[in-house]
Structure 1
Amino acid sequence: MMFLTSILLPMLLSAQSCLATRATVTNPFAAPCFRAENRSNSAGLPSCSEVQSNYTDRFFRLTSAGSYMNTQWETCQANGSQCLLDWADPSNLLAFETPRICEQGSVPLLTAEIENAQDVATALKRAKLLRMPVVVKNTGHDYKGRSSAPGSFSLWTHKLSDMSHHANFVPEGCDATVSAITIGAGVLTGDLLKFADTNNLTIVGGNDPTVGAAGGWLQGGGHSFISNTYGLGVDRVVQYRVVTADGQYLTASACRHQDLFWALRGGGGGTFGVVMEATVLADPKVPVQVALVSFNANDTTTRALWELVLENQLTWSASGWGGLVNQHQALYVNPILNSSAANASMHPLAEFASNLKDAVVKSVFIELPSYLSFFNTFITPSPAPVGENVALASRLIPASLLDSPDSRSDLLDALLASAANVSDIRIFSTTPFSFNSSSELTSVTPAWRTSVFHVVLDRVWNFNATKSDISDQYEALTASVGSLRDITPPASYQNEGDIHEPDHELAFWGDNYARLLSVKAKYDPDNLFDCWQCVGFKSDAPRFSCYI
C-alpha cells in the first residue's frame, strides 16, 4: 500500500485521459485539527474549529467523504491507526496534539463521487487497475464498517438525490400499476418523508433523518416505526436500478432480473452491485396517534414498564402500534386507529404513567396530522450516538415468547440481564408483525415475520481506548446479547448485528443464505463487492485486517 500511496497513486490521479471519472484523495474528518506536517492535504477541508463544533453533528458529517457516523470505522482498530477527536470534548488537546498524529486508518484512500451509472462503471475499472478494494458509501451510517476499508476506493453516492412521485408506476416488464416514489441512492430519510408528505403520501423510511433511504438501510431490510403496519423497507420496493460488478446497468423488479431483485430485498448493501435508485410503494397520508411516557427511572420502574409492555405488546401490535421502549421511556405511533380507539388501546400505559406521579417527565397521548409530524416531533430530536465509537448487537424476539406468563418472565429476565452491562438498550416493536406479506418475496431472515421485537444493545468508547480496551467492549457486548440468544432462535438484523455474531449466515438470512450465495456468484463472481459479514465474505481478506 505504501507503493500505491507514494508513487503509483499520484501518477494515476493526474492521468485523467484514460478514465474519465475523477477520484480524489480522502481526508479523515478530523484531519484539520492535527499539525500540518502530520496530514497529507488540507485543501478544501473545513477548519479545525468547524470540525470541533460539529464533531457530533450528523448533518455536518454528511458533507465529508472521510466521515463516518460511528468513528471506529474511520480507524484501524487492529493497529491503532486513527485520526479522531475526543467526542466528549472535541477541544481536548490530548486527542490531536503531539505525539498524536493523523493516520488514515480505515478511511478510503480514494473517493469517486457518483452522479450516474457510467461513473460507477468507470470507478470500478479504476479500482481494479489500482487493485484497491471497493466500498460503497452513502451517508456513513453503517454500524459494521461495511462502507470503509484500509486502502480502499470509495464510491460515494450522496449526490444521487432525485425524487419523483408516480401515481401509476409500472415496474419494468410488469403490468400492474402502483403508487410509488422513485428515489436516488443519496436521498435521505428526512427529505423523503418531507417529499411524501408534500404529496399527501405516507412512506416507510429509516429512524433518523440522515439515514439513506435507498442504501444499506433498504437493501438490508429497513425497519421503521410504522413497519408493523406498512412492512419493512424491502417489503415496499417494486424496482431497483443497479450497476453490477461488470459495469452493466440493470433494472431489477418482480419481472426483470427477478433473482437480483429478490437478493436486493434483504441480502444487504454493498454486496450485489451499486444501487443507483429504488422505487418504493407510497400510501395515502393519514393522521397518526402517538403515545409517549418518559420518566426518571430506577430499577423498579424500568422493570414495571417492561412487564407492562410484555403483557400488552401482542395486543398493541395487532392494533397497529409500533414503537420503541428503553429503561426510561415508551414511545408508540399508530397509523390505523382513531383518537378514541387509540386512547382505549393505550389505557394500560396511561395508567402506568399516572401511577408514576412526580417521576413522570412527559406523558403525551395525541393525534398528529401525518407520520412526518410524528417523525419531526419525536424522532429527529433524539439521534443515535454520532461521532462516537459505538458497537451494536441485536436480537429478533419471537412473538411466542409473549404467549405465557412463564415465557414472558424468562424474556424479562433476559432483557434485564442484557441491559446490565451495556451503554444502552432499545426494544423496538418495528417488525412487520401485522403486515401481510409472504417471507418468500424478500431475502431477509423469515424470523422477521414471526418476531414482535427487535432488540438493540450498544457499547461506547472514546478515542484513547487501547486495542485491548476495544476488544473488551466487543466481548462484553457479545456476552450481553447472549442472555437473549439463549432463549431465542438464531435470528438477528444484519444492519445492527454483532460483528462477532455466531453463525451470522443463519442469524441474518435463515434458510435464504444458500440462494443468496448463488445470486452473488452470478452477478459478482470475483467478489468485487465484499464487506464484513456480507453474503460470500471471507474474514481473512486483507480488507478486513482492521477488525478485531
Structure 2
Amino acid sequence: MMRITLLSTLSLLAANAVGAGAQSQTHTPPGCRAFPGDIEWPSALAWKALNLTVGGKLIAGVPLGRPCFNPGASQARCTALKEHFTELEPFTEDPVNVMSPYWQNNSCSPFLGPTGTCSLGNLASYAIKVTSAADVIAGIVFATAKNIRLTIKNTGHDFLGRSAGAGSLALWTHHLQEITFFRFSSTGYSGPAVRLGAGVDGTDLLPAAKAAGYRVVGGSCPTVGVTGGFTQGGGHSPLSAKYGLGADQVLEYDVVTALGIRTTASPTKNPALFWALRGGGAGNYAVVLSMTVKVYPDGPSAGAGFLILNDGDDTKYWKAMSAWFKHLLVLDKIPGYMTGFTMGRDFLSLAFALLPDTTSVTDITAPLQPFFDELATLNVTLAQNSAFISPSYADWYTSWAVPVAYGTNNALGGRLVPRTVVQNNLPALINVFRDIVEVSTPEIEFSVINGITVNLTTKRIGNAANPGTSAVLPAWREALFTLNFGIPFAANAPVSTLKFGQAWINEKQSKLRAVTPGGGTYMNEATFDNPNWKQDYFGSNYNALLAVKKTYDPLGLLWAHSAVGSDVSWKQRVDGRLCKV
C-alpha cells in the first residue's frame, strides 16, 4: 500500500509544471541541486500540489526576525523579539529556525531592521509539519523528483548545521510526540521499554516517565530532542554513568529510508542500519519516526554541587583545578556517580553531581570530601556547597539540571579526555585549559569549559560498550570525561564575529587534540569545519558507516556537514547550494 502511495504521489508531482517563473534567468548548474531563483526550482503549482499531498501541512520558512523588517512593523513586537532572541523556545518551536547563531546567521537579525535586508539565508525554504510516515515519504518523493535539498529538523539544537539548509525542504518532526510505555520482548532483551516519537524532548519525557514509575536516559538540557541528534550522535546524560549513552539504550527504530520505504531497524531487521543509527550521526542514513528504548525503575537520587572562586592568586587557583581533575579519577570508580562541572578563569562550579538509588546524602558527599580536604591545604574555600536527596530522578533533574542556563548565542568545541591523559600528562592538559579560559580578544568576552564525567567501560555498563554493538565513537569507552568549551556572542554580533569564533574554537580544538591522543570528540558538541572530523567524530567506525550510507542512501539525498560520506557526495557552495563533488 505504501508503494502505491509513493508512486501515485510521484506521478502527481511529475505532472506539475517545473520552474520558478518567467522572471527567473538562470538554470541550475549541472550536478547541483535546484536553488531558489533557478528556472528548475519548483513552481508555485508544484508546492501547492505538495501541500495538498501532506494535508495542508506545508509551511513557508520565515526568519524569526522578519517582523522587525515589515513595513509599519510594531515597535513593541520588535522590541519583545529582541529581548527574547537568545532564548531557546522561539527556535525549538519553529519549523525552520535553528538555535546556532552561525547557522541562523544575521541576514534577518531583528537588530539590523527595519531598513536592512531580510532573507532566509541558511534556513529551509519550506517545511513539512510531519505527523505521519506518509508526510516523510511525500517529502522524500518531492525532493527527489525536483532535485532539491532535504533537511531534517526537530528542535534545532545543532552546532554542526545539520538542521538548516539554504534552498531546502525541511522535514519538521517536532510534532511526532508519542510516548508509550510497554513491555518489550526480543531475543536480546525482554523488559520495560518506551516508544518515543522523533519530536519528544526532555520536557515531555521526564514527567511522563516519572508518572509511569521509570527513568529514561535523556539529555542534560530539557529542550533537547531525545530521538534525533542526541541519541543518533551518542547522547550523554546524567544517567549515563549508571546505564550508558542514549545510543546504548535503543532496541529498535521505526524509519523511512532515503528511497521512501518505511521499515524497522533492529538487531534482526536491517541490522547494519540499526548499528549506524546508534551513534553514527543524525540525519544521514534514514529519517527516524520513533525509537524504542530501555527504561529503568525510578527511585531516589542524590544530588550535590559546589562553587570555588579565584581570589586573585592564580597559582593557588590552578593547583586547585589540577586537584579536581585528579579527583575525577577517584569518582570515576564509583558506579553510577556522575559530575557536571563548569570551569572558567575565575571559578569552578560543580553544577550537579548525581548518584541514583540512594537515600543517604553521605553517599554522594563522602566521595567529595578528600577533594575538599585538599582545597583546605591550598587555603581555598568553598563559596557554595550543597547536597540533598530527591525522591525521583525527575525531581533531581528539576532541582539540579533545569536551573543551568542554556542560551542560543554561543558556539561550542569539544574533546573526549582519556583517563590516561589525566593520569600521565595532566600539566599539559591544564596548560591548554588555561589557554582556553584566559581568552583575551575583542571578539570574545569570555570562555568556559563544561565537563561531564561518565564511566562507559564494558566493566561498568556491560555488553552495550562492546565494540560492534553500536556505532558510538570508541573513544567514549576510554574517556574519563567529555568536555565542551563555549564562547558567547552578543545578540547582535555580526557574521564576521561568528566566523572569528569558529576559527578560534578550531584552533583550541587542535591544541586539545595534541595533548589527548586517541581522545576523539562528541559530535553533538563540536565544529562543522574540524579538518579531523572523520577520526574525531567517528574513529575506526568510519569506513563501515560509509558502507551503510551507500547502501541505504545510494542517491545521496540526505546530506549534512561533517557527516559520514559528506565529502564524497556533495559540497556546499558559499551561497548554500549543494553540488556534486
Once the two structures are superposed, the pairs formed by residues 29-44 of structure 1 within 5 Å of their partners are 29-36=64-71
1:419–1:480 CA contact under 8 A, matched in 2: no
Give 1:420's match in structure 2, choosing from 411, 433, 438.
438
Q: Where does structure 1 differ by over 6 angstroms across 4 or more consecutive aligned residues?
A: 352-359
Q: Deviations over 1:84-107 (max 9, x none)?
A: 235xxxxxxxx2232x22111111
More displaced stretch, 516-525 vs 495-504: 495-504
1:326 aligned partner: 342
1:60 aligned partner: 90
2:159–2:528 CA contact under 8 A, matched in 1: no
What is the deviation of 1:353? 7.2
Distance 2:376 2:175 in 1: 49
Give 1:348's match in structure 2, choosing from 338, 357, 370.
370
Distance 2:303 2:375 in 1: 15
Instruction: In structure 2, give the amino acid aligned to 1:269.
Output: A
What is the deviation of 1:238? 0.8
1:160–1:185 CA contact under 8 A, matched in 2: yes
Q: Deviations over 1:102-139 (max 9, x none)?
A: 11111100100101111100011112233210100000
More displaced stretch, 535-544 vs 21-30: 535-544
1:306 aligned partner: 321
Instruction: In structure 1, give the amino acid aligned to 2:132.
Output: N
Q: Deviations over 1:44-85 (max 9, x none)?
A: xx953553343233223322223212222123xxxxx71123
Q: Deviations over 1:465-486 (max 9, x none)?
A: 5554333222211122222111
Using structure 2 for the length normalisation, give the TM-score: 0.83
1:376 aligned partner: 398
Once the two structures are superposed, the pairs formed by residues 28-427 of structure 1 within 5 Å of their partners are 28-36=63-71, 47-75=77-105, 82-86=107-111, 95-98=112-115, 100-166=116-182, 168-171=183-186, 174=187, 176-298=189-311, 299-300=314-315, 302-319=317-334, 320-327=336-343, 328=347, 329-330=349-350, 331-335=352-356, 338-351=360-373, 360-386=382-408, 388=409, 390-404=410-424, 407-421=425-439, 423-427=447-451
Give 1:486's match in structure 2, choosing from 514, 538, 551.
514
Distance 1:324 1:125 in 2: 44
Instruction: In structure 2, give the amino acid aligned to 1:501.
Output: N
SS in 1 for 2:37: helix
Q: Deviations over 1:332-379 (max 9, x none)?
A: 111255433333212134446778999644210222222212211121
RMSD of equivalent CA atoms? 2.7
Q: Deviations over 1:5-55 (max 9, x none)?
A: 9984422223358744542211011111113399xxx9xxx9535533432
Task: State whether structure 2 residue 550 is matched by structure 1 residue 521.
Answer: yes
1:133–1:543 CA contact under 8 A, matched in 2: no
Distance 1:278 1:392 in 2: 28
1:457 aligned partner: 485
- Structure 2 CA distance for partners of 1:286 and 1:539, relative to 1, 3 Å: same
Q: Deviations over 1:221-253 (max 9, x none)?
A: 000122122100001111111110111111111
Distance 1:149 1:16 in 2: 19
Q: Deviations over 1:301-344 (max 9, x none)?
A: 65244222222112202113212222230131112554333332
More displaced stretch, 19-28 vs 211-220: 19-28
Instruction: In structure 2, give the amino acid aligned to 1:318.
Output: K
SS in 2 for 1:365: strand
Percent identity over the alignment is: 27
SS in 2 for 1:441: coil
Matched positions, count:
520
Instruction: In structure 2, give the amino acid aligned to 1:382.
Output: V
Distance 1:427 1:476 in 2: 19
2:36–2:167 CA contact under 8 A, matched in 1: no
Distance 1:353 1:113 in 2: 54
- Structure 2 CA distance for partners of 1:450 and 1:164, relative to 1, 3 Å: same
1:78 aligned partner: none
Instruction: In structure 2, give the amino acid aligned to 1:472.
Output: F
SS in 2 for 1:186: coil
2:414–2:509 CA contact under 8 A, matched in 1: yes
- Structure 2 CA distance for partners of 1:8 and 1:450, relative to 1, 3 Å: closer
2:198–2:290 CA contact under 8 A, matched in 1: yes
Distance 2:225 2:169 in 1: 20
1:432 aligned partner: 456
Q: Deviations over 1:471-517 (max 9, x none)?
A: 32222111222221111124111111122223211111111110000
Distance 1:254 1:295 in 2: 47
* Consecutive unaligned residues in structure 2, runs of 5 or more: 1-34, 440-445, 577-581
More displaced stretch, 20-29 vs 156-165: 20-29
Instruction: In structure 2, give the amino acid aligned to 1:59.
Output: E
Instruction: In structure 2, give the amino acid aligned to 1:24.
Output: I
Instruction: In structure 1, give the amino acid aligned to 2:94.
Output: S
Instruction: In structure 1, give the amino acid aligned to 2:60.
Output: V
Instruction: In structure 2, give the amino acid aligned to 1:334.
Output: L
Using structure 1 for the length normalisation, give the TM-score: 0.88
Q: Deviations over 1:416-456 (max 9, x none)?
A: 22323362211221452432321321112111001011111
Task: State whether structure 2 residue 35 is matched by structure 1 residue 11.
Answer: no
1:446 aligned partner: 474
Task: State whether structure 2 residue 44 is matched by structure 1 residue 24.
Answer: no
1:265–1:443 CA contact under 8 A, matched in 2: yes
Distance 2:497 2:83 in 1: 27
Larger radius of gyration: 2
Distance 1:379 1:18 in 2: 43
More displaced stretch, 362-371 vs 445-454: 362-371
1:242–1:249 CA contact under 8 A, matched in 2: yes
Distance 1:209 1:176 in 2: 28
Distance 1:307 1:141 in 2: 32
- Structure 2 CA distance for partners of 1:4 and 1:157, relative to 1, 3 Å: farther
Instruction: In structure 2, give the amino acid aligned to 1:10.
Output: A
